[in-house]
Amino acid sequence: MKLIPLALLLAACCLAGAHAHAEDYTPVPGFDQRREGIAYGKMVYHTYHSQTTGTERKCYALLPPGYDAEKEYPVLYLLHGIGGDHNEWLGGKPDVVIGNLIAAGKAKEMIVVIPNVRARANDSINAADMYTPAHFAAFDHFINDLQNDLMPFIQSRYKIAPGRENAAIAGLSMGGREALYIGLTLSDTFGYVGAFCPAPGVLPYNVEKGLFEKKDFAPAGNQHTFILINAGETDYVVGSWPKDYSDTLTENGVEHIFYVTKGGHDFTVWKHGLYNFVSRIFQD
């Protein structure tokens, strides 16, 4: 794994072949704070049967303020990191970040699904195998649980607007890796991909062969997919990998947003990415 801090690699942000200033992506003050007079969404806990793992699995569905069971909504699948589960994103206050954006007219109403990405029979957090290829493979296996079990379950419970233009996937760290893998592999399903400090493994490195070869790192079928990658200036965990992914997309002619902000491998950066991603998806 590369551990080069991004602050040593770039001093500005870049936008797929052009340059952009860091302030272009700066959230409004208090973007992650509850405010009086604003209605926030409801977090609903679910269990669903997974044929992929042969077990009952857990997830949350964040319903928008004023949720109407008769109305169709776009859906965002929001993925956690390697040491987390379906509870990790609760620390990033997605209900508040997204609720404030909706109230300000800067985001569409949406359903946000927050699953456990560790797709194996024992999907609990186990420190003993945290950084093993077997554990990485359980995250990669989530693509099957998502397609075959979780998405049908969500569609059976809620009215989800059809089409890739109404489906997004995003995640932090290992969840960012999976968002890139799943979103680009299933580009006929997902029109939007967000990767906040994405972990290594999308491309080959000294531990894994990679989910894509560099030349193949692009949306399947060359479909236009909105892609946003961000990184923290002092992220010593994933190091230069977010920029490497951005550089490879640029080399392959894939339009995307990449930017760097202050912070490390933490919710300072991950919430920043969520804010910028959610404010740009499902737009007419």
The parent domain of residue 45 ranges over: 6-278
What radius of gyration do the chain's Cα atoms show?
Answer: 18
pLDDT at 23: 55
191 in any annotated domain = yes
pLDDT at 232: 98
Q: Which CATH number does the domain housing residue 221 bear?
A: 3.40.50.1820
**How many domains, in total, are found in the chain?**
1
Show the tokens assigned to 173. Answer: 């760290």
Q: Is the pLDDT of residue 152 over 70?
A: yes
1 in any annotated domain = no
284 in any annotated domain = no
54 in any annotated domain = yes
Place of tokens 């300000």: 104
Burial class (CB in 10 A: 0-12, 13-18, 19+), 204: middle
At 241-270, the pLDDT tens digits run 999 999 999 999 999 999 999 999 999 999
| Listed residue (185, 201, 191, 208) closest to 244, CA to CA | 201
Q: Band of the pLDDT at 284, cuts 50, 70, 90?
A: confident
The most distant pair of C-alpha atoms in the chain lies apart, rounded to whole Å, by 52
| Listed residue (99, 116, 110) closest to 56, CA to CA | 116
At 22-54, the pLDDT tens digits run 558 999 999 999 999 999 999 999 999 999 999
Show the tokens assigned to 128. Answer: 């003993």
Cα of 140 vs its chain's centroid, Å: 14
199 in any annotated domain = yes
Residue 172's contacts (CB-CB under 8 Å, 6 or more residues apart) are 79, 80, 81, 88, 89, 92, 196, 197, 270, 273
Residue type, position 95, single letter: D
238 in any annotated domain = yes
Q: Is the pLDDT of residue 11 over 70?
A: no
270 in any annotated domain = yes
170 in any annotated domain = yes
